Structure 1
Amino acid sequence: MEELDGEPTVTLIPGVNSKKKQMCFDWGPGEMLVCETSFNKKEKSETEPGCPFIYIIRKDIDVYSQILRKLFNESHGIFVGLQRIEEELTGKSRKAQLVRVSKNYRSVIRACMEEMHQVAIGAKDPACGRQFSSQVSILSAMELIWNLCEILFIEVAPAGPLLLHLLDWVRLHVCEVDSLLADVLGSENPSKHESFWKLVTILVLQGRLDEARQMLSKEADASPSSAGMCRILGDLMRTMPVLSPGNTQTLTELELKWQHWHEECERHLQDSTFAASPHLESLCKIMLGDEAALLEQKELLNNWYHFLVTRLLYSHPTVKPIDLHLYAQSSLDLFLGGESSPEPLDNILLAAFEFDIHQVIKECSIALSNWWFVAHLTDLLDHCKLLQSHNLYFGSNMREFLLLEYASGLFAHHSLWQLGVDYFDYCPELGRVSLELHIERIPLSTEQKALKVLRICEQRQMTEQVRSICKILAMKAVRNNRLGSALSWSIRAKDAAFATLVSDRFLRDYCERGSFSDLDLIDNLGPAMMLSDRLTFLGKYREFHRFYGEKRLTDAASLLLSLMTSQIAPRSFWVILLIDALPLLEEKEVVFSAEQTYELMRCLEDFASRRPVWREPGVQQLQEDVENTKLEMLRLALARNLGRAIIKEGSLEGS
């Protein structure tokens, strides 16, 4: 894409003196923070900036419009549908399908425009009303441009049908005539209505000759003196050669018929057939394509492209697409007459008539306030194979660049970001990288939103992003003391360190309360408990309690001994494990074998030898005394159990 021809638009921030103060900027994906610094550009620095505020500048405010959000939502479905049927688009059906998609886009624009128009009418605040009206004008211009691009680039209408399409284009975007027609026909005497001749002239300018002829018949009925002239002009309107969609005549035949008809119109004008009626004479001149007569109706034509189509209708009905730009430029020059400069819309339409697609996209990108229009139009034209040769300097093509920009704007909104995901998906070169960068910046304000983001990442195998989101949610859960949720998220993130941290919190809570919370989660850890040693210990220790509760004492004893000898238990928990052995040692039936009892004794002595020595008296000394008492009880229990186990095992061997 070429560089911009002019300087970018300057946006003034209220209260900020950028001429005097140095500015501080911080760019984000959808917003920018701006503030004054305490540094002057020339003078000495001040201790404080003159404007103490930090401003948030959004590059795409249209995503916050309730009505435009409907445009974004509806067009998203059309866009995704187009990408999915790409493989099915072949042969003749391809063009018809693409035209249908284009019409769907236009219907969404028009529906949005009509809703915006109703809101503008009902607005109580004049400023809001003006803002909505301005938006209606922009949407109307968007549909106008899109419709023309559809005719020239997608339908690719040849000479003959081209003019019919252009006539429909003008009629669609000049709607005032229908209300005027209803007003005139609704009066008691239509031919005497003050806007009668204005209406007939507009109908002729739009090529609606059948309706114009019907209006002339009313004039003939009301005014016998002009009945003959009305009949002659009506016959000229009726016999004007037009290439209708179902007509099989060739362009050569049409041109010959049209030439004869044109000569007949000229003869009537030279014979002063309509001299007695200036209105009818003016209409005859218009039908002859007389430029002076057409320019006299500038007020009724409204714009130069209406003038262009009327001029072609009555002067060059078989115009070829390749010649359009010549007539377009001359029509613009004639219509403006050097009195004013072309508007941005004029430049866009001229570029379209020149079949310069890239200039159309460039001008639209500059003129419009968001990327919706250029992104979707470019994507559609790309499916028409019209942009294949145009790559940008930085690795992507024009279609992908514009889709990436549009999707980035959607990610600035709290809910529209979900639409942006699909646009990134259909950008094969840079889409995934962009999605990864943007999805990490989505604020996970609720767990429901976090689950949506997580599901999107998992569907696309975005492992790092899944891990990052799970870590964030795990941290939030820990801060809210929701240990079960925190453990679940840390397991999902496959974060061993965080799983260890949460497991420690579970064990600490057990020490304080004597019971576990979130038993369902811990009981169903399954293979996930292998994520970290501490998590394994937590799961197995809970399993020990379950065995004990179910009176599976032998299994409980084996598991408890395994936990002590495997070295996976935190040292602070050893004393609890040893004391947990006491009830098993005191059972009537021998639970621990002699060998297991020796292992328990070794663990006990190992723990006792590594115990810290309390340096200060007080509570810590009291805790040590309690612990010593328990250990002594454990030694006695172990000694008794050893004797019982040896006797039992000896008697079994003897038998």
Structure 2
Amino acid sequence: MDVDKVPELEIPDKLSTRDGICLAGNFITNSKLSFSAFRNITRQTKDVPSPYANKEDVKVFHLQPNFIFDDPILRTLIGEANGIFVTLQELQKDGNKQDYVKISRTYRSIIRACLEKLQEAVDTSEEYQNFITILYSIECIWHLSEILFIDPIPSNVVTPQLLEWTRFHFPAAERNATDLLLHGRDADESEEYWPSVKGLILQGQIDVARAILQLHSMSESNAFKMAEQILKSMPSYNIYGGLSVQKFRSQWQYWLTDTERKLSTGIFATEPDLEEIIYIIIGNTQTWNKFIKQSQNWYELFPGFLFFTDPACKSFELGTLAQCWINRWANIKDFAHSNFMKHLDKVILYLLESDIHKVLHSIQQIGDNQWFVTHLTDLLYNCGQLELIGENKLTDCEDFRLSLLFDFGSTLMARDSIWLLGINYLEQCGLEGEGAVKTLLSRIPVKNEKQALKVIEIAQGRGYIEVEHEICKIFAKRSMALGRPGNALDWAIRSKDTTYVTSITDFFLEVSFLF
């Protein structure tokens, strides 16, 4: 998905191409634009009739983005997310201590479930491929946000979590490894054997790679035994292991020097693939450049490179390290910076730079009707991470969250089938949200009396008497137009509109007088 490429839309209005006439647009709602021909008149303009009056048709064009949640599969996502959102607000209101990581993972789980459904049905609709791209980007960004902001490690050492993120979003090596383990002792006969082992190593999955190396027919040779010893003795930093970063780095340097010495003996000369693996784990520049050239995304190998070159790096160092890696990646791939940094690439960089402001600004451009930015912002706000935005930190981040909730709730209430969900978002927006609910409830396109009673029930539950009366008046007039005066009288009485009750009563009296 590349939202940097702005789509062009031609509006077929001939009148706006005439001399002195242009095409002007105005917002009708936060997501709908109205365009029409416009003649700019100032106080210097002569007061004469337009030469195009009564000659050209004046057309009004309404433009708005597609609402992707009208699709039945995506409808389940918005419904389940609404339930999680409501639960979070209720728990916050009660003052209970929250497990924000659990809530974040629940959000991600419903995204993954929706992705699976879309992948199963992708052959039935071309649009589903676009939905898959959107949801994949959302889940990828959300997962990294969870690691860096919602579930931060006390020591700020994030490489193990970044490796987990890479494995999750680039699962090919792990899938191939599963197949190889099922093959048993003849696994090395597969063409995917060495690519799979190297893919696992590049992702820091040392233990799985060792298990597959044990399946090789030459696993008892000196070269394989030496490789096993090197991989097994490789230091691994654990924040709960009681080892300081300085002590770990000292052990790492000793292991690295010892590995380079063993490599220089030429013991791996007869096994070039095994030798390349050792070059990977010592961070050999030439070897890594080879795999960088084969990679598709700049962030695909970045966590693995950190694992073998700076495994104890801190989260605040990621921005600088990522920028250096991007420059290297672009040079090796022979890309201009603007040619490969697409939307998802940029958002991931902003996350690694801990620039939440840019992250939230960027994800508003994802074509998901603001679902993602609204829910992620709300979660980050509730766990205290939005205080990084703005000068007046608390006020700014709260206003930003409320504006997203207001816009998203208003958008949902404009949809016939899911208007009820929008109320839950607007109710978090104070008096402004309450006013919007009152206004929008009375504008819901009610098609029958059953729907009307549902809206009235919602209005009564919130004490919106004016809304109830307005809907009753509408149905009273509708019943009269359909020739059902008795039903109209019932609605009129419920509306508490004495004038309208009187007029309907007079109608009954006139009819009875005729008979």
Same fold (TM over 0.5): yes
- Identify the match of residue 195 of structure 2 among 194, 198, 209: 198
Work out the CA distance in 2 between the residues paired with 1:159 and 1:85: 29
- Letter of the structure 2 residue corresponding to residue 58 of structure 1: Q
**Structure showing greater Rg:** 1
User: Equivalent residue for 2:158?
Assistant: 162
Cα separation, partners in 2 of 1:435 and 1:509, compared to 1, 3 Å:
same
- Identify the match of residue 489 of structure 1 among 491, 499, 506: 491
User: Equivalent residue for 1:399?
Assistant: 401
Cα separation, partners in 2 of 1:113 and 1:395, compared to 1, 3 Å:
closer
- Identify the match of residue 207 of structure 2 among 203, 207, 210: 210
Q: Which stretch of structure 1 is more off in the superposition, 159-168 or 472-481?
A: 159-168
Cα separation, partners in 2 of 1:344 and 1:261, compared to 1, 3 Å:
same
- Counterparts of residues 135-150 of structure 1 (less than 5 Å): 135-150=131-146
For 1:218, what is the secondary structure of its paired residue? coil
The answer to whether the 8 Å contact 2:210/2:231 transfers is yes
- Identify the match of residue 505 of structure 1 among 500, 507, 511: 507
Over the matched positions of the two proteins, sequence identity in percent amounts to 29
- Offset at 1:88? 4.6
For 2:299, what is the secondary structure of its paired residue? helix
Cα separation, partners in 2 of 1:290 and 1:134, compared to 1, 3 Å:
farther
The answer to whether the 8 Å contact 2:177/2:197 transfers is no
User: Equivalent residue for 1:466?
Assistant: 468
The answer to whether the 8 Å contact 1:205/1:310 transfers is yes
User: Equivalent residue for 2:458?
Assistant: 456
The answer to whether the 8 Å contact 2:36/2:61 transfers is no
- Offset at 1:119? 1.2
The answer to whether the 8 Å contact 1:38/1:48 transfers is no
- Counterparts of residues 154-303 of structure 1 (less than 5 Å): 154-159=150-155, 162-185=158-181, 189-219=186-216, 221-222=217-218, 227-244=221-238, 247-298=241-292, 301-303=295-297
- Offset at 1:449? 1.6
User: Equivalent residue for 2:335?
Assistant: 339
User: Equivalent residue for 2:323?
Assistant: 329
- Offset at 1:155? 0.8
Work out the CA distance in 2 between the residues paired with 1:160 and 1:461: 49
Work out the CA distance in 1 between the residues paired with 2:55 and 2:254: 83
Work out the CA distance in 1 between the residues paired with 2:503 and 2:133: 59
- Offset at 1:152? 0.8
Cα separation, partners in 2 of 1:396 and 1:357, compared to 1, 3 Å:
closer
For 1:275, what is the secondary structure of its paired residue? coil
Instruction: With the length of structure 1 as denominator, give the TM-score of the two structures.
Output: 0.69
Cα separation, partners in 2 of 1:207 and 1:19, compared to 1, 3 Å:
farther
User: Equivalent residue for 2:46?
Assistant: none
- Offset at 1:73? 0.7
Q: Which stretch of structure 1 is more off in the superposition, 300-309 or 168-177?
A: 300-309
Q: Which stretch of structure 1 is more off in the superposition, 499-508 or 71-80?
A: 499-508
- Offset at 1:27? 4.7
Work out the CA distance in 1 between the residues paired with 2:475 and 2:298: 60
- Letter of the structure 2 residue corresponding to residue 504 of structure 1: D
User: Equivalent residue for 1:418?
Assistant: 420
User: Equivalent residue for 2:373?
Assistant: 374
Deviation per CA, 1:587-636: give whole Å up to 9, x if none: xxxxxxxxxxxxxxxxxxxxxxxxxxxxxxxxxxxxxxxxxxxxxxxxxx
- Letter of the structure 2 residue corresponding to residue 212 of structure 1: A
- Offset at 1:39? 7.9
Instruction: With the length of structure 2 as denominator, give the TM-score of the two structures.
Output: 0.86
- Offset at 1:250? 3.9
- Offset at 1:301? 4.2
Deviation per CA, 1:292-316: give whole Å up to 9, x if none: 3222112654322222201110111
Cα separation, partners in 2 of 1:79 and 1:289, compared to 1, 3 Å:
same
The number of residues matched between the two structures is 493
User: Equivalent residue for 1:29?
Assistant: 29
User: Equivalent residue for 1:586?
Assistant: none
Work out the CA distance in 2 between the residues paired with 1:112 and 1:154: 23
Structure 1: which 5+ residue stretches go unaligned? 1-5, 514-655
User: Equivalent residue for 1:477?
Assistant: 479
The answer to whether the 8 Å contact 1:29/1:438 transfers is no
Cα separation, partners in 2 of 1:368 and 1:258, compared to 1, 3 Å:
farther
The answer to whether the 8 Å contact 2:35/2:62 transfers is no
Q: Which stretch of structure 1 is more off in the superposition, 244-253 or 357-366?
A: 244-253
The answer to whether the 8 Å contact 1:29/1:412 transfers is no
User: Equivalent residue for 2:386?
Assistant: 387
Cα separation, partners in 2 of 1:31 and 1:447, compared to 1, 3 Å:
farther
Deviation per CA, 1:112-138: give whole Å up to 9, x if none: 111111111x33xxxx43x32222122
Deviation per CA, 1:512-551: give whole Å up to 9, x if none: 45xxxxxxxxxxxxxxxxxxxxxxxxxxxxxxxxxxxxxx
User: Equivalent residue for 2:47?
Assistant: none
Q: Which stretch of structure 1 is more off in the superposition, 325-334 or 71-80?
A: 325-334
The answer to whether the 8 Å contact 2:157/2:314 transfers is no
1:447 aligns with 2:453: no
Work out the CA distance in 2 between the residues paired with 1:468 and 1:223: 81
Structure 2: which 5+ residue stretches go unaligned? 42-49
Cα separation, partners in 2 of 1:156 and 1:322, compared to 1, 3 Å:
same
The answer to whether the 8 Å contact 2:134/2:368 transfers is no
- Offset at 1:450? 1.6
Deviation per CA, 1:237-267: give whole Å up to 9, x if none: 1222224586444434433332222222222
- Letter of the structure 2 residue corresponding to residue 77 of structure 1: G
Cα separation, partners in 2 of 1:346 and 1:461, compared to 1, 3 Å:
same
- Offset at 1:37? 4.9
1:360 aligns with 2:359: yes
